[in-house]
């Protein structure tokens, strides 16, 4: 048939070194591969997102975020690269173009992975994802590093000599680091605080003679709200080099208190006082008794010392227990007839005449 013969002749017509039917087959193969990859991407993203509903901070959500960053241009390029095997062309040109496209897509995946890890870390810590912090800066630096590697690999793939460029960037980086070393010191201190976690937002800390609740760990400073209401701003580098007392990490609180009774207290009542202290402390729930002793002879009192543990780190809980113990001691000592001591002094006058009017001092 003339029409079929004409079509067959037209398909055999050469174009850029290949018959037209090869180009048509390559185009169909490229479209097919791109369509299959798009459907696979869509299916995987949907499945991972469905799994992420049960665990928003899990790996499924991270995988869905990374796959969602697969660019349509990369899918098309993968299809064209697959279809290029059906035609004969310049050696290596399709491979080099696809490698550049793959590097670009790798940068997108790497950036999405870094962002997802930062978001996952903040969600697990219960922090506002929009709030600035050192981990956000760390994520930004990681994304810059990813794209810097992608750029260098792309230039190397194009035949550009990157050794001199890397050396120049190294020298420039040293100069910049020296110029902003204080800022970088605080920044890396912030990252160290967030990774090592000596304290977190919401912890009550004491640094030297300053104390308060941590409100925010920023890129350069950490802000603490003091008990009196003002905000204390610490440099991250100085804070990291200080001795920090973190009361939020306290599991239980050790309490030592003393009280004094008068020297006129008889021995049997001293023994009863020690037993009363033990009984009062052990009777309360939420406490662990350690010891109660007649500890020492004071300047104006016989001193008792008692030690117990509050099984809660909360300061208000400790004060409630201590108040109840103090009231119970007051009542029990009143029942036992034991008097509390208070500062007293007895003064003896050496020059006072004795009874009978005789002066003891010689003239």
Least confident range of 17-26, 85-94, 316-325:
85-94
Structural domains in the chain plus CATH codes: 16-130+137-156 (no CATH), 184-249 (2.30.30.60), 253-336 (3.30.70.100)
pLDDT at 82 over 80: no
Write down the mean pLDDT value for the chain.
80
- pLDDT per residue as tens digits for the range 119-158: 777 766 655 444 445 667 677 778 888 888 888 888 877 7
- pLDDT per residue as tens digits for the range 306-324: 999 999 888 899 999 999 9
pLDDT at 58 over 90: no
Mean pLDDT, residues 228-237 taken together: 88
pLDDT at 13 over 80: no
Query: For the CA atoms of 42, 44, 45, 46, what is the dihedral angle to 10 degrees?
Result: 80
Q: Rounded to an integer, what is the distance from CA 233 to the centroid of its chain?
A: 19
Q: Count Cβ atoms within 10 A of the Cβ of residue 44 and give its class: 0-12 exposed, 13-18 middle, 19 or more buried.
A: middle
- pLDDT per residue as tens digits for the range 264-279: 999 999 999 999 999 9
| Cβ atoms < 10 Å from Cβ of 259 | 18
* Those residues with Cβ within 8 angstroms of residue 104's Cβ, 6 or more apart along the chain or in another chain: 71, 74, 150, 154
pLDDT at 332 over 60: yes
Q: Among candidates 186, 65, 50, 187, which has minimal Cα distance to 119?
A: 65
Say what the pTM is. Answer: 0.52
């Amino acid at each position: 048939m003339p029409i079929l013969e004409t079509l067959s002749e037209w398909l055999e017509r050469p174009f850029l070194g290949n018959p037209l039917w090869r180009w048509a087959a390559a185009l169909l193969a490229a479209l097919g591969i791109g369509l299959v990859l798009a459907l696979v991407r869509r299916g995987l993203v949907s499945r991972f997102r469905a799994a992420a509903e049960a665990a928003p901070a899990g790996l499924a959500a991270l995988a869905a975020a990374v796959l969602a960053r697969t660019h349509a241009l990369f899918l098309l390029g993968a299809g064209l690269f697959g279809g290029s095997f059906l035609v004969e062309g310049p050696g290596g040109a399709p491979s080099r173009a696809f490698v550049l496209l793959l590097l670009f897509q790798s940068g997108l995946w790497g950036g999405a992975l870094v962002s997802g890890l930062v978001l996952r870390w903040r969600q697990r810590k219960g922090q506002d994802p929009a709030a600035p912090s050192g981990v956000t800066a760390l994520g930004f630096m990681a994304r810059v590093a990813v794209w810097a590697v992608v750029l260098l690999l792309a230039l190397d793939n194009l035949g550009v000599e990157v050794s001199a460029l890397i050396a120049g960037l190294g020298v420039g980086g040293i100069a910049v680091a020296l110029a902003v070393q204080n800022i970088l010191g605080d920044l890396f201190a912030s990252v160290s605080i967030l990774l090592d976690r000596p304290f977190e937002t919401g912890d009550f800390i004491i640094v030297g003679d300053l104390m308060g609740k941590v409100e925010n760990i920023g890129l350069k400073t950490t802000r603490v709200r003091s008990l009196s209401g003002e905000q204390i701003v610490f440099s991250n580098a100085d804070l990291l080099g200080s001795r920090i007392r973190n009361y939020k990490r306290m599991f239980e609180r050790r309490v030592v208190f003393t009280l004094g009774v008068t020297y006129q207290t008889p021995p049997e009542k001293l023994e009863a006082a020690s037993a009363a202290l033990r009984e009062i402390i052990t009777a309360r729930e939420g406490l662990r008794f350690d010891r109660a002793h007649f500890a020492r002879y004071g300047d104006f009192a016989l001193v008792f010392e008692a030690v117990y543990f509050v099984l809660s780190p909360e300061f208000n809980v400790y004060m409630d227990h201590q108040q109840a113990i103090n009231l119970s001691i007051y009542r029990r000592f009143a029942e036992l007839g034991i008097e509390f001591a208070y500062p007293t002094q007895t003064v003896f006058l050496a020059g006072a005449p004795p009874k009978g009017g005789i002066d003891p001092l010689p003239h």
